[in-house]
Amino acid sequence: MSRSNTSKSKMRLRFPNIILLLCGLILLIFLFDFLWRNIISPTVPGDTEGIVTADGTFSASDSEETSPEDASADSEDNENPQDMTEASEEPTEDPFSQVITLSQSQIHNGPLILVSGTCPFLGTTNFVDFSSNTNSNVKPRDTALKINPEMAQPISDLFDGYCHDNGYVNLQIYSTSEIYTGSDSLYTNELTERVTGYSFDIGLITSTGKVVAYLTKRNEWMFNNCWNYGFIVRYPDTKTGTTGVGFMPHHFRYVGLPHSLIMKEKDMCLEEYLQFLTSYTQNSPLKYDTDDRSYSIFYVPAESSGDTNITIPKDAVYTVSGNNTDGFIITLDNAKSGSPDNTGSEPSSENPADASVPESTSEPVIDSGNTTG
């Protein structure tokens, strides 16, 4: 009896200990799990949910906090590297410049083209005549005479200036794109540059209305003032070795402003001037100022084939002329501050014109067959 009671007493004592031991073990398991998840290893291997990964490295400025929107945009960029490459290769349009495209044919057109026996004219012609001329100061021998339309207004301004300074016009436009070959012709100069329509000959109208030639004598007003209107004496007596043509005091050529003024100041014929301009580039242009305008002039060699592209300031006022050999002359024209934006003002002259002379004192008509050129 006593042994049985002792056994039951021992069993009652062991059972609670087992329960306590199990509870302690369970607590240890939960504690270990808590420590593992939150302290020892905060992420479970294989569980990538909520983890953000990215390739590449960060610069010092990249350590700043990035918003979710920025992170999303960065993620999209990384997923499409090809799109990034294509976007970076697109040219950025310069809002302050423009591109002008010049064709090979334009090399042979413009008021500065050099046409001679060794440099034939390869350009195009689209002439006008004097039939619609309403300026009484412009006196063509025949209204059918043809000129390049680019010269129409300048030649009118030229003879207006002549009349303004002298009170009358005693000059006749005798020949332009072609030489008159009649039996009474004053000149027989078969010049290759006539075909351009940029040149003309003058004759002197005497007091009786007869027209006589300028062969040795020259019109002083024209020689001193034609430059102010864009014209030059094409074949002066001091440049025969360069031009290959003898003195022609009656023959004038349109080259445009400010080129005529520069040629006058530097005592250059057209051949010399075009060679002179080849040393001026777009990055280092020739600068020339008048009272109301500022010019930048430079030479651009033509591409060996195809078009030639030139970048100039946006909205720039410019003119382009070929040289008829290998390139272009670009002239940028800017009005000075406070000056009217035009070039049509009449410059003052320096010398009076030839008076309307009687036949007895006018230069006699010389046999045109003896003229040079």
Beta strands in the chain (DSSP E): 97-102, 128-129, 146-147, 171-175, 199-205, 211-213, 231-233, 251-254, 286-289, 293-301, 308-313, 317-322, 327-335
Is residue 320 helix, strand or coil? Answer: strand
Q: What whole-number distance in Å separates Cα of residue 269 and Cα of residue 287?
A: 19
Name the nearest CA neighbour of 75 among 105, 54, 92, 93. Answer: 54
Ranges under pLDDT 70 in the chain: 1-16, 34-92, 337-373
Can you read off the two tokens belonging to residue 75?
Answer: 């993620």
* CA geometry: angle 14, 20, 25, nearest 5 deg: 125
Question: What is residue 39's predicted lDDT score, i.e. its pLDDT?
Answer: 61
Question: What is residue 13's predicted lDDT score, i.e. its pLDDT?
Answer: 52
Q: What whole-number distance in Å separates Cα of residue 95 and Cα of residue 99?
A: 11
Q: List, for residues 285-301, the tens digit of each pLDDT value.
A: 999 999 999 999 999 99
Question: What is residue 19's predicted lDDT score, i.e. its pLDDT?
Answer: 75
Centre a 10 Å sphere on the Cβ of residue 316 and count the other Cβ atoms it contains.
14
Q: List, for residues 66-91, the tens digit of each pLDDT value.
A: 444 554 545 455 455 555 445 445 55
Helix, strand counts (H, E) of the chain: 8, 13
Question: What is residue 373's predicted lDDT score, i.e. its pLDDT?
Answer: 34
Question: What is residue 29's predicted lDDT score, i.e. its pLDDT?
Answer: 79
C-alpha 371 chain-centroid distance = 42
Distances (CA, A) of 153 to 34, 128, 234, 325: 99, 12, 19, 27
Is this structure's pTM higher than 0.75?
no
